[in-house]
Structure 1
Amino acid sequence: MTVVESMLSHTPEPLRSVLIKHRELLKFGIVGGTTFVVDNGVWYLLKLSVLESKPTTAKAIAIIVATIVSYVLNREWSFRTRGGRERHHEALLFFVISGFAVVVNLIPLWLSRYALHLETPFVARWAQETADFVSGSIIGMLLAMVFRFWGFKKWVFPDDLGGRRRDVARDAEIKPLRPMG
């Protein structure tokens, strides 16, 4: 049973139909949750050790690591029924869109630290860390996620394969679910 099938088997019917209809978005969200953990793990590891005085640099490195993980998971799972471009062209477009998304992601953190001065010694350490998390890991990541989903669907993994490959993948992925209860 796949991850999506497992999630859908525990979902009530009205919502299950909506999720099946929007399964790419559901998969993109699961990949996003995974890369959220990777991003924040790397960011805090760097920010609390070797890059303590450079939180924006630490965040940029963390985003790059998470972006590489994101490419592999999105290519092989979320958007596997889309595309049709040569891999090197697709990868180039993915990383260009992701590069713009890194900038989108970093803007709220930069504003928090350097425009609003939510950093020590102007505020307490706990306030700095809270502001960093909210601006860098919530606001920035949500803005970048919306931008990436739009960019990936439009340019990186366009829906130009035709029905055959998509139907084969859909048949292999979505099997009839047994009724709950």
Structure 2
Amino acid sequence: MTTSASPTPSLFQRLRGLSGEVIKFGIVGLVGVVVNAGVFWVCLQGTGAIKSLSGFIATAVAIGTNYLGYRYWLYRDRDAASRKREITLFLIFSGIGMLIENGILAFSVHVLDYTSSGAQLVAKNVVGLAAGTIFRFFSYRTWVFKALPELAETDEVALANEPALAKL
């Protein structure tokens, strides 16, 4: 008689397995933050529409940068069967994250009256980005970059016996 390990890993095992992913997500995100802050700061130096849309412009450039990091580094081993679906979901969830991030910026400017460039940078790239990042992490790993399904033991046995069944 053989014994098998519990099919459901403990909370500690799941968190330990998640830590590497969180670290890589953070590295890609940090690159995005630098890109976001740099583009945002440059746009704030402009006038008119560029200054008004600086948060959205900066976030859009960072989204493109982050997609490349997530797809080709962090989630390179995940299912990429449907790039169209993946990119569509990535843009939808990134857009929601952008709304969270820039909603906090708008609140700080229009409600709290924090109008200095420094205050706006903190509101958008500290508070807003933190809230948006938490949302993005869970939505990307759950719906966008789905893990490949692992073969169950019964599937492996069926695949091993498949040539024998074909001869019958």
Answer yes or no: same fold by TM over 0.5.
yes
Alpha-carbon contact 1:84-1:161 (below 8 Å) kept: no
* Deviation of 1:51 (Å): 4.7
Q: Is 1:144 the counterpart of 2:141 in the alignment?
A: no
- Identify the match of residue 131 of structure 1 among 119, 131, 134: 119
- Match of 1:77, as an amino acid? W
- Identify the match of residue 66 of structure 2 among 70, 73, 77: 70
Residue 79 of structure 2 corresponds to which residue in structure 1?
A: 83
Cα displacement string for residues 104-140 of structure 1 (whole angstroms, at most 9, x for unaligned residues) = 1101110111111222xxxxxxxx2232022111000
- Match of 2:83, as an amino acid? R
Q: Is 1:118 the counterpart of 2:114 in the alignment?
A: yes
Larger Rg: 2
SS in 2 for 1:154: helix
Identical amino acids, percent of aligned pairs = 28
Cα displacement string for residues 26-53 of structure 1 (whole angstroms, at most 9, x for unaligned residues) = 1110000001010011111111124588
Q: Is 1:43 the counterpart of 2:40 in the alignment?
A: yes
Q: Is 1:102 the counterpart of 2:66 in the alignment?
A: no
Cα distance in 2, alignment partners of residues 75 and 69 from structure 1: 10
Q: Normalising to structure 2: TM-score of the pair?
A: 0.74
Cα distance in 1, alignment partners of residues 137 and 78 from structure 2: 13
What's the RMSD between the two structures over aligned residues?
2.0
Q: Normalising to structure 1: TM-score of the pair?
A: 0.69
Residue 22 of structure 2 corresponds to which residue in structure 1?
A: 25
- Match of 1:142, as an amino acid? A
Alpha-carbon contact 2:32-2:63 (below 8 Å) kept: yes
Structure 1 gap ranges (5+): 1-17, 120-127, 164-181
The verdict on how the C-alpha distance between 1:94 and 1:153 changes in structure 2, with shifts beyond 3 A counting, is same
The size of the alignment, in residue pairs, is 137
Cα distance in 2, alignment partners of residues 79 and 95 from structure 1: 16
Cα distance in 1, alignment partners of residues 48 and 74 from structure 2: 33
* Deviation of 1:74 (Å): 0.2
- Match of 1:160, as an amino acid? L
* Deviation of 1:22 (Å): 2.0
- Match of 1:31, as an amino acid? V
